[in-house]
Structure 1
């Protein structure tokens, strides 16, 4: 469990601390997939631009008189096929990471909204008046907004 959650006072019970721990884990998972998707996307875009540049000067310029000749050159060299397959692999990896990012964002947002909806049950009596300290700590330390449901 996070150190910041362990040092919370008696205003927060163990079940609430566990829910806050889960939302922190979901946020970290979402941040990881968000960063990995961004890196993979830019890598695949730059790789594809470099690929078009290489193909333009090595295939299209010398064999511009015939489209069929360009396709024959492209398919005869195994290195060109491997380069194209790598570009396809990069874009398919980007698609997979995008889907994982969207799923982890949905899990994170659902759990965060559940904490917001159940906040009246989680903090009762005197703890309700002090819950803003926990919300401020979550916002400042983990960048998790527990004040409003909107993203």
Structure 2
């Protein structure tokens, strides 16, 4: 358990565990989002390199005939390699997008559950009055908003 969550006062162990779980899911979501963004940039750069290579080495020289252009592109191993690499990056980007969306959904479901169950999690009056300290710490330390269900 992370130390700011462990040191919370006016919060029982079950609530601390829920806060720790939402922190872990937020981290997984942020990591997936960062990796997805890197892969988007790599895909765009790869597509740019491939299209430039294709234009300057094949399309420019064989533009008089589609068959000649097709034949030259199939016979050029670097062209095939760049094309396959770009397609591979594009497919990986889409798979990571799906994983990112799944992790985002899990994170927001748990966050909304904490917001919905706040009356149950901080039952006693002194806990209820001090729950804003927990909300502020989660917002400031981990950028997790527990004040509202909306993002």
TM-score normalised by the shorter chain: which range applies? over 0.9
Residues of 1 paired with 2:83 and 2:56: CA distance? Answer: 16
Map of 1:145 onto structure 2: 145
Q: CA deviation at 1:77?
A: 2.1
The residue correspondences of 1:2-151 to structure 2 (distance < 5 A) are: 2-9=2-9, 11-124=10-123, 125-151=125-151
3-state SS of 1:115 partner: helix
Residues of 1 paired with 2:92 and 2:45: CA distance? Answer: 15
Question: 4+ residue runs of structure 1 moved beyond 6 angstroms?
Answer: none
Q: CA deviation at 1:83?
A: 1.2
Residues of 2 paired with 1:15 and 1:71: CA distance? Answer: 64
Deviations, residues 82-120 of structure 1 (Å, cap 9, x unaligned): 111100000000001100000000000000000000000
Residues of 2 paired with 1:71 and 1:77: CA distance? Answer: 10
Residues of 1 paired with 2:122 and 2:143: CA distance? Answer: 21
Partners of 2:139 and 2:146 within 8 A in 1: yes
- Contiguous gaps of at least 5 residues in structure 2: none
3-state SS of 2:130 partner: helix
* Count of aligned residue pairs for this structure pair: 150
- Normalising to structure 2: TM-score of the pair? 0.97
RMSD of Structure 2 on Structure 1 (CA): 0.7
Partners of 2:53 and 2:79 within 8 A in 1: no
- Contiguous gaps of at least 5 residues in structure 1: none
- Normalising to structure 1: TM-score of the pair? 0.97
Deviations, residues 37-84 of structure 1 (Å, cap 9, x unaligned): 011001101110111111101001111101111110111122221111
